[in-house]
A = this chain, B = another copy of it.
Amino acid sequence: MSEIAPRPVIILCRPQMGENIGAAARAMLNFGLTEMRLVAPRDGWPNPKAVAMASGAAGQVLDRARVFPTLAEAMEGITYAFATTARGRELTKPVFTPATAAARHREEVSQGGRSAFIFGPERAGLENDDIARANAILTVPVNPDFPSLNLAQAVLLTGYELSRGALPDQPMPTNRRPAGEVPADRIEIEKLADHCESRLDAAGYFFPATKAAAMKLNLRNMWSRLALTRADVQMLHGALRQLTRR
C-alpha cells in the first residue's frame, strides 16, 4: 500500500465504550492510520476492554494514543479538521463527502499542513460546540432511511477513502463479452460445467485419480471465468453431446 505522509490524525471525542475504541483502532490500522487521539474517554484510560478488542498490531495504536481533556487541546499541530456528523448543518461550514475530504486532506498535506478527522460519542455524535471547532463537516452518504453507521464503521469508511486516493487508479480487468449477446445465467454455467465434467469423467479424462479434484476445479473455474452467452452455452452442450455420441 502506498503511503501518503503525513497521515491524518483520528480524534475520538468523548468515546463511551472501550470496545468501540478498540474496534476503531482496528479500522484505522486496516488502512494504515496509526495516530489516535482521545478526548475525555468516558471510562478513563487505559481501558482494558479497548485493548481486548484491538488485539495484535492494533494494540500499538492504542498504546500510542494520546489523551486530552478537551477537543480544543486535542487539536495540537492540526491545521485542518473535519467534524464527522450527519447533522450540524445549522453551522455555516463546507460539507465534504469521504471522497472530497480525502482530496482536501491531500491538499492540506501539500501545503505543509496536518489534518484530523473528529468522531463523536457513539450515542449522540458530535455536539455543535465540537463542530464549531472544526473547519469543515464530513458526512458519509448513507441510505437516509437507515443511517446506522457505528463508530468503527465511520472510521473504516474514512480510512478506506483516504487509502483509495493514495492508490493508483486500477484499470478494470477485461473479459468482455460481445455486445448484444444475452449473458448466461450462473445456473446455466453450472449445468454446463456439470455436463462437461460428467462427460469427461465417463471418458476417463480425470486421470490419475489423485489429480482429479484439481483438474475438476480448474475446469469449473474456467467455465466461470469465461463471459459465455446463453447461445454459447447451448452450443457447448450440443458439442459435448456430439463428441460423446459413440
Contacts and interface: CB of A to CB of B under 8 A. Distances in A.
A145 B81 contact: no
B32 A227 contact: no
Interface in A21-50: 26-27, 29-32
A100 B221 contact: no
B217 A132 contact: yes
A133 interface: yes
Given A133-B186, A187-B72, A29 B77 contact: no
Interface in A130-155: 131-136, 140-149, 153
A231 B225 CA distance: 61
Contact of A78 (B72, B95, B160, B186): B186
A26 B58 CA distance: 25
A186 B76 contact: yes
Contacts of A210: none
Given A94-B174, A135-B224, A170-B99, A111 B30 contact: no
B145 A163 contact: no
A141 B186 contact: no
A185 interface: yes
A183 B115 CA distance: 11
A30 B148 contact: yes
A129 interface: yes
Instruction: Choose among A80, A93, A128, A172 the residue with the greatest number of B CB atoms under 10 Å from its CB.
Output: A172
A142 B30 contact: yes
Nearest to A217: B132
B97 A170 contact: yes
9 contacts: A1-B141, A29-B148, A75-B185, A94-B173, A94-B225, A111-B177, A133-B186, A135-B224, A136-B225
Interface of A: 1, 26-27, 29-32, 56-58, 72-73, 75-81, 91-97, 99-100, 103-104, 108, 111-113, 116, 128-129, 131-136, 140-149, 153, 156-157, 160, 163-164, 167, 170-175, 177, 179, 182-187, 190, 217-218, 220-222, 224-225, 227
Chain A to chain B: the 4 pairs with minimum beta-carbon distance, closest first: A94-B173, A75-B186, A132-B221, A79-B183
